[in-house]
């Protein structure tokens, strides 16, 4: 398939997919989900490391919007509206030895997916069971691309994808979105 490098919003048949450039990504890597690194993170962000396959969102009262999305037993993605939070956490994490923060702002993009056809899109591109429920973080493949699907509010699912795969993913979503009016039979 020829790649479409246009990351413009996609709107079709009850579906909206849009790049969220204000959302920044960092990888939190740790040895102990209850160790010094985890406590530091909670003190600074107001959010605890999530349990397996879970995603958590900070309280609206905090000055930064923060989402923590489980990725593996020793890795969680931090998705935030505040680049300063990532930098502040990186500096503070230098004082602990059981975890670190890897800045992914240059390598990961976040897309917002919403509308009544989200489940159909996930079924077509990732298979049944690929769409997370509210409060879940699922590693999946969409269009043969590794994606972290995160849902912290009922009306929106976030897709975190490596920047280099974003054009392929959005081109495939664009093509599938055009076909969403056609029923899917399994």
3-class secondary structure, 65: coil
The pLDDT assigned to 4 comes to: 40
At 181, list the tokens: 């009016």
- Counts of helices then strands in the chain (DSSP H, E): 4, 11
The pLDDT assigned to 82 comes to: 85
The pLDDT assigned to 151 comes to: 96
Instruction: Looking at the structure, tell me whether residues 35 and 98 fall in a common domain.
Output: yes
43 lies in which domain range? 24-103
Residues of the chain with pLDDT below 50 are 1-4, 185-186
For residue range 3-47, list pLDDT tens digits in order: 445 789 999 889 999 999 999 999 999 999 999 999 999 888 888
Whether the CB-CB separation of 142 and 159 falls below 8 Å is answered with yes
Nearest Cα neighbor of 156 from 114, 120, 123 is: 114
Residues 6 or more apart whose CB falls under 8 angstroms from that of 25 comprise: 77, 78, 79, 104, 105, 108, 110, 160
Instruction: Looking at the structure, tell me whether residues 90 and 116 fall in a common domain.
Output: no
Global pTM reads 0.90
Whether the CB-CB separation of 24 and 105 falls below 8 Å is answered with yes
The pLDDT assigned to 186 comes to: 44
The pLDDT assigned to 118 comes to: 94
Whether the CB-CB separation of 74 and 29 falls below 8 Å is answered with yes
Residue 72 CA: distances (Å) to CA of 21, 69, 141? 25, 9, 15
> How many domains is the chain built from?
2
* Residue 54 burial class via C-beta count within 10 angstroms: exposed 0-12, middle 13-18, buried 19 and up: middle
Which 8-state DSSP code applies to residue 182? S
Q: Pairing state of beta strands 66-72 and 24-30?
A: unpaired
Instruction: Looking at the structure, tell me whether residues 37 and 95 fall in a common domain.
Output: yes
What is the CATH number for 122? 3.30.1360.120
Instruction: Looking at the structure, tell me whether residues 43 and 93 fall in a common domain.
Output: yes
Helix (H) or strand (E) holding 108: strand 108-114
Instruction: Looking at the structure, tell me whether residues 30 and 89 fall in a common domain.
Output: yes
Rounded Cα distance between 131 and 114, Å, is 12
């Amino acid at each position: 398939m020829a790649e479409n490098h246009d990351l413009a919003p996609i709107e079709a048949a009850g579906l909206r997919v849009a790049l969220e450039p204000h959302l920044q990504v960092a990888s939190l890597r740790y040895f102990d989900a209850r160790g010094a690194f985890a406590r530091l993170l909670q003190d600074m962000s107001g959010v605890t490391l999530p349990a397996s396959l879970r995603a958590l969102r900070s309280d609206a009262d905090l000055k930064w919007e923060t989402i923590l999305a489980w990725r593996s037993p020793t890795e969680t993605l931090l998705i935030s509206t505040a680049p300063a939070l990532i930098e502040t956490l990186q500096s503070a994490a230098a004082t602990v030895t059981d975890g670190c923060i890897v800045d992914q702002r240059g390598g990961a993009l976040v897309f917002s997916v919403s509308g009544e056809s989200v489940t159909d899109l996930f079924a077509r591109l990732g298979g049944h069971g690929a769409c997370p429920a509210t409060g879940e973080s699922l590693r999946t493949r969409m269009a043969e691309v590794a994606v972290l699907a995160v849902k912290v509010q009922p009306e929106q699912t976030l897709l975190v994808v490596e920047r280099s795969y974003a054009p392929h993913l959005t081109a495939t979503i664009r093509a599938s979105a055009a076909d969403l009016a056609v029923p899917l039979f399994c």
